[in-house]
Amino acid sequence: MTASAFVSLSFPTVFLELLSLNWKHLSFDMESIEVTASEPAGKDALDSITKAEAVAEMAPTSNEKDIGEIASISEGKTAYSKLSVALMIVFSGLAIGSDGFNASIIGNLSLIFGVLYPDLSTTMYSRLSNAFIIGMIVGMLGFGYISDRLGRKSGAVLTTLILVVGIALSAASSGKDELGMFWMLVISRGIAGVGAGGEYPVSGAGATEATDEESGVRKNRGFIFALIGDLSATFGFVFGGLVPLLLILCFHENEKHYNIVWRLSLALGLIPPISIFWFRYKMAVSTAYRKSAAKKQRIPYWPIFRRYWRPLLGCSLGWFLYNYISYPFGLFASTILTRLNVGSSLTKNMGWGTVINCFYIPGAFIGGLLSDRIGRRRTMALGFFLQAILGFILGGALGSIQSILPLFIILYGIFLTLGEVGPGATIVLTSSESFPTSIRGQCLGLIAAFGKAGAAIGTAVFAPILASFGDVDGGYKGNQAVFLIGSGFAAAGAITSWFIIPDISNRLESEDEAWKEYLREKGYEIQWGDEESKDPAGLRMDGVRS
């Protein structure tokens, strides 16, 4: 079984098992019940949706203590399916993991390209890295709008299709000469990036709303999100190094087959998005979106910036700084080791690079647990601060540390772990929770685009910084420079997280109601809700949120 196939098969199983063991509220039974819908509790229950437009509305009563039921109102009757919530969470995680794989794999394939195409310029290497990131920025901005206006489901289906097309074209890249082939690869990677970037507002908003369906899941949202977001992307990064390494070993490190290796490595990235396409096509609409979407009217941007300027600024800066550090240090791990360990084989350097990327994994668990206990903002600031301290130590004492390769690898790995403990585990969730449902996709997409701009700038300057020092002192000066610069950005991230990002409620409905009231006070009349989108029978999750 290939590494990517292993991810696509085992991750949902493991995640479902975690849910069933740790949260009794998610029992995954397919049993249905029928109840007669009551009359609305009052004007607030329907907000600005008229009785003629709403089929029915249910309001929680005083004796509904943590019942955790997910209700569907259809022609006066209610059905529930907790499986809808679980599937939405699991497949959002798998989609983000797929994006991590497709984003990270190019860093390891660059080592193969260096063997196959020794005359390839550093400019083309930068284009290969940045094409995917620039495509992601376009996808984040575009699909943020699409997910709010057309719905999370429409956005999820479109992003998957675009990602599949982009990956297929990348694996099949060709041209009259090497330059032509690489230009096709650059363009194809950009197309794949559009699909991958769209996953952030679509999956981020959708999974946040799915975890708001009941209090038993809501109170553990930080840990759940760390698993579906950060841990999934981390596994994607790890397998982005492991897959080409295993393929090289399968071909006995024969350079004649490296052309097959890089194409097959890219093609295997098709497995996760294809495997989840049907489930995304059948996904249900969340309670939050059904009650608080604004599909028929465009909300003016000025009230958004007036009310939410602080989380927009804080989360954008935090994500920018996090990606400026994490992307280049993850993508170029093998390159850094090559400079420190001149003469080692390609497989050895790729193997050590993969080992370093494995250090991302514990950060997701630690950060997720901390975010539910001390809060998102404090967790993010703590991770940034500790990463900055270790980075300055690494940069300052690199001359002594790099001579002991295992010690350098461990400290390098912990440096990456601390980044995941802080912003890695919290930035997507914080960016999603900070905004109401009607604008969540657009705000999350805008913030994520700023984050990926940090990744693009980081990867663009990282290689030139290393190259500018050449192999002076065995690569010491270049490596020292990138660690010191990265640590400075981590310190800036700690300051941003602590002083700009606000503390927020984890109950999405509270912010939805506050946002509606704010717009009413400003004189805006918005028709809220989405009763037009149809869901598969038994898979709706519209109605009661406990």
- Give pLDDT tens digits for 82-92: 666 677 778 78
Give pLDDT, residue 491. 97
Closest CA to 125 of 137, 110, 139: 110
Give pLDDT, residue 233. 86
Residues whose CB is less than 8 angstroms from the CB of residue 241 and which lie 6 or more positions away in sequence, other chains included: 104, 105, 107, 108, 333, 334, 350, 353, 354, 357
Give pLDDT, residue 369. 94
Would you state the structure tokens that stand for residue 27, as one six-digit string?
Answer: 């029992």
Q: Are 337 and 354 in contact (CB under 8 A)?
A: no
Give pLDDT, residue 294. 86
Residues whose CB is less than 8 angstroms from the CB of residue 543 and which lie 6 or more positions away in sequence, other chains included: 58, 70, 71, 72, 73, 78, 80, 287
CA distance 206 to 93: 11
Greatest pairwise CA separation for the chain in angstroms: 77
Residues whose CB is less than 8 angstroms from the CB of residue 530 and which lie 6 or more positions away in sequence, other chains included: 151, 285, 289, 290, 293, 295
Under DSSP, the state recorded for 300 is: P
Per-residue tens of pLDDT for the chain, all 546 residues? 433 333 333 434 433 344 444 433 333 333 333 333 334 444 444 344 333 333 333 334 433 333 333 333 333 333 344 666 677 778 788 888 888 898 888 877 888 998 999 888 878 887 887 898 889 999 999 999 999 999 898 999 999 999 999 999 999 999 999 999 999 999 999 999 999 999 999 989 988 988 887 777 888 899 988 888 888 888 888 898 889 999 999 998 888 999 999 999 999 999 989 998 888 888 878 888 888 888 877 888 999 999 999 999 999 999 999 999 987 887 667 667 666 665 567 787 778 778 887 898 999 999 999 999 999 999 999 999 999 999 999 888 887 887 787 888 899 899 999 999 999 999 999 999 999 999 999 999 999 999 989 988 887 788 787 777 665 555 567 778 888 999 999 999 999 999 999 988 778 889 999 999 999 999 988 889 887 777 666 555 544 444
For the chain, give me the number of helices (H) and strands (E)?
23, 2
Would you state the structure tokens that stand for residue 469, as one six-digit string?
Answer: 């020092």
Q: What are phi and psi of 78, to 5 degrees?
A: -120, 135
Give pLDDT, residue 474. 54
Q: Which domains does the chain have, with CATH numbers?
A: 81-288+306-511 (1.20.1250.20)
472: alpha, beta or left? (left if phi > 0; alpha if psi -120 to 50): beta
Give pLDDT, residue 47. 43
Amino acid identity, position 40: P
Would you state the structure tokens that stand for residue 224, as one six-digit string?
Answer: 């759940």
Residue indicated by tokens 């403990």: 421
Give pLDDT, residue 194. 96
